[in-house]
Structure 1
Amino acid sequence: MALRHCMVLGFSLSVAAFSAEALELVAAGNHGAEQPPVPGASSRRTSAGGTTFDAKYAKIYGLLESDAALRTKIRKAAALFGIAPIHVIGAIVGEHTYNVDAYDHLQTYYVKAVSYLESSFSFSHGGESLASFLERPQFDLCDEEAGSHEVWSCREAVWDKAFRGRTVEGKRFPDDRFSAVFFQPFYAGQTFGIGQLNPLTALQVTDMVHEVTGLEKLDYGDAQQVYRTIMNPDITLYYVAATLKKAIDAYADIAGFDISSNPGLTATLYNVGNPETRAARLATENRLRRKQGRAPKLPKVNYYGWLVNDKQEELEALLADS
């Protein structure tokens, strides 16, 4: 079995290259009868908006149901990245049910994207630009990585280990995610288009999207370009599909699970992020369980993925038309 090693801040991640025959298929559907608890922040945000999760679900479902062109774009994006379109549908539905409410018409997303053409902003924190921040010596090891996914994953790991919640050279950094500190120039929790895609996530998969679609690569020095991309439905759907494909590949390559038949799992990973790290943790746990003569632990959905699996039949119905 071939192994790939990734060194980040002294930690070694061994990635096993599983053959297709060795993968354990995770069947469709939920393996638990009850939905995991919804975080309080999501509940409070929904209540503050004078709505409910059921109403938000109905709204995004209605948008998808009424817009055949959008469904065609979803199918196209999924096909280009070799995944079933239900994964893209699931990610979109989950985001708009538990995070922000959907707009009534797709055209609104285009209008929002165009608004960034004349906006003046950059990725920065506390008066320090992201470009300047990444010149700090702690990030030098990331220059050895090849590809946008590896580089930005390394930078995110460096942030978590060396800066998050710490005081470095007299400057105190927030105890928050890298993406929240440097990639939300307006306010925390701002919307990111129909896929609710995080700018950092988009930067991670930009090489993959460029290779598959030929679209221009994203440049973190051009924050407007990044935001226009993730706000434009014609483009961001490719980034959504690429992100989901990355998650499916991570669980196959690292943990030995084929999760491509379970859209709730891919939706969960789209929601929580860091699929490689999560797959590695699961692989480590299952190696120990096998040594103990116990059955391996299956990947689990969160509240967000549970909904997608629970609604899979009616979500699939959206894709039934030609």
Structure 2
Amino acid sequence: MRKWIVVAAAIVATSALLPAWAGVAVPPGNRNAEQPDVPFGSASRTRALKTTYEAKYRKVYGLLQRDQELRSKIRAAASQFGIDPIHVAGAIVGEHTYNVDAYDRLQAYYVKAIAYLNSNFAFAYDGESVDTFIQRPQFEKCLGLSGSYDQWICRETVWDTRFRGKTVNGTAFPNNRFSAVFFQPFYAGQTFGIGQLNPLTALTMSDFVHDKTGLPRLDHTDAQEVYRTIMDPDRTLTYVAATLRKSIDAYEAIAGFDISNNPGVTATLYNVGDPEGRARALKVENTARTRRGEAPKLPEENYYGWLVNEKLPELRELFPSS
């Protein structure tokens, strides 16, 4: 009897932490009637290539349409993490419409993967390797954390609060993201592969992917293997699916919303990152709205996710609902 009293008390305590609107399913479709503004950087890249968003979308859609093997790999990766493959397809479509053009053939990504494996580079800034950098005392609180996800999220937070845009021990650090400063040795903002992952995202998801799939863990001291992983479709699609799963779980556990039926929202989070921080911010906003007697605000799509939801009927032809 005592056991059941303890269990009941734990359930009550847990429920008290959940928002009043917990369990609300976000319906399909866009919340915005018109597409939110596309950032200047995306627009300028597209103009420089003398193309259009629609042409870039058609190119990546054509790759998905032609390549049955790629569609099978997407379905397999999604299945490993218990998500609808439309989420993975949406992330790929968004990246190649607003970031870079897709290659015409899947084989090109494998060739690039081998090229990076044979290159000589490391994760470092101004001659200091990231491995040395994260041994600094400011990162001490991250040492006791287990799992690559919690460790790298902690390190990103330390970077943002203690180093970003600051001068520390005589070294001036850029006012830029941790991933751009230390993990993109060719040029800041560069992402790779069919999923356009950045190396820090892959490192963050390493243990989650390993535990679910058995793929080898990634090591930040082996930059070549990290780049090979994010270029190789057989591996990177698994990391894309893992990243999307984390976003779905974060919004349900923290913000109280089930976003698993809205690929535009999951694509948005794939694009902007930090799903836990954004879920916490939404929870705070909705708590205030509830106090004022207002309905909770649903998660919304950005320009990138808006396109995914707008094109959903066409994407569903390639990935029918089960």
Amino acid at match of 1:63: L
Instruction: Provide, for residues 58-101 of structure 1, a one-character-per-residue CA deviation record: whole Å limited to 9, x for no partner.
Output: 00000000000000000000011000000000000000000011
* Shift of residue 2, structure 1, vs aligned partner: 4.7
Note the C-alpha offset of 1:50.
Answer: 1.3
| Number of the residue aligned with 2:37 | 37
Counterpart for residue 114 of structure 1: 114
Contact 1:18 1:253 in 2 (8 A): no
Number of equivalences = 311
Is 2:129 aligned against 1:129?
yes
Which 4+ stretches in 1 moved above 3 angstroms? 1-4, 15-19
Say yes or no: does 1:272 pair with 2:250: no
d(CA) in 1 for partners of 2:288, 2:320: 43
Mapping of residues 220-259 of structure 1, within 5 Å: 220-259=220-259
Are 1:83 and 2:102 matched, yes or no? no
Instruction: Identify the range of structure 1 (285-294 vs 241-250) with the bigger mean alpha-carbon deviation.
Output: 285-294
Structure 1 residues 274-302: Cα deviation after superposition (integer angstroms, max 9, x where no partner) = 00000000001111111111111111110
Higher CA-based Rg? 2
Secondary structure in structure 1 of the residue aligned to 2:28? coil
Q: Superposition pairs for residues 40-79 of structure 1, below 5 Å?
A: 40-79=40-79
Q: In the alignment, which residue of structure 2 is the partner of 1:28?
A: 28
Q: Deviations over 1:162-185 (max 9, x none)?
A: 000000001000000000000001
Correspondence 1:138-217 to 2 at 5 A:
138-217=138-217
Distance 1:113 1:18 in 2: 44
Matched-pair identity in %: 63
CA contact (8 A) 1:2 1:17 kept: no
Q: Is the 8 A contact 2:36 2:303 kept in 1?
A: yes
Aligned CA distance change for structure 1 residues 292 and 17 (closer, same or farther; 3 Å): closer
2:262 aligned residue:
262
- In 1, Cα distance between equivalents of 2:188 and 2:57: 23
How many Å separate the matches in 2 of 1:203 and 1:18? Answer: 31
SS in 2 for 1:296: coil
- 2-structure distance, mates of 1:100, 1:148: 28
Structure with the largest fraction of helix = 2
1-structure distance, mates of 2:284, 2:320: 40
- In structure 1, distance between residues paired with 2:193 and 2:55: 19
State the partner residue of 1:10: none
Distance, in Å, in 2 between the alignment partners of 1:112 and 1:216 is: 20
| Alignment match, 2:313 | 313
Match of 1:8 in 2: none
Change (3 A) 1:309 1:193: same
TM-score normalized with structure 2 length: 0.93
Deviation, structure 1 residue 16: 4.2
Matched, 1:286 2:286: yes
- Distance change (3 Å), C-alpha of 1:245 and 1:321: closer
Q: Tell me the distance in 1 between the aligned counterparts of 2:146 and 2:314.
A: 41
Aligned match of 1:12: none
Change over 3 Å in CA distance of 1:117–1:129 after alignment to 2:
same
Query: Contact (CA 8 Å) 1:250, 1:279: kept in 2 or not?
Result: yes
Q: How far apart in 2 are the matches of 1:100 and 1:298?
A: 30
Residue 18 of structure 1, CA deviation: 7.4
Kept in 2: contact 1:16–1:253 (CA 8 A) = no
Question: Tell me, what secondary structure is at the counterpart of 1:83?
Answer: coil
Tell me by how many angstroms 1:240 deviates. Answer: 0.2
Q: Per the alignment, in what secondary structure is the counterpart of residue 189 of structure 1?
A: coil
The offset of 1:259, in angstroms, is 0.2
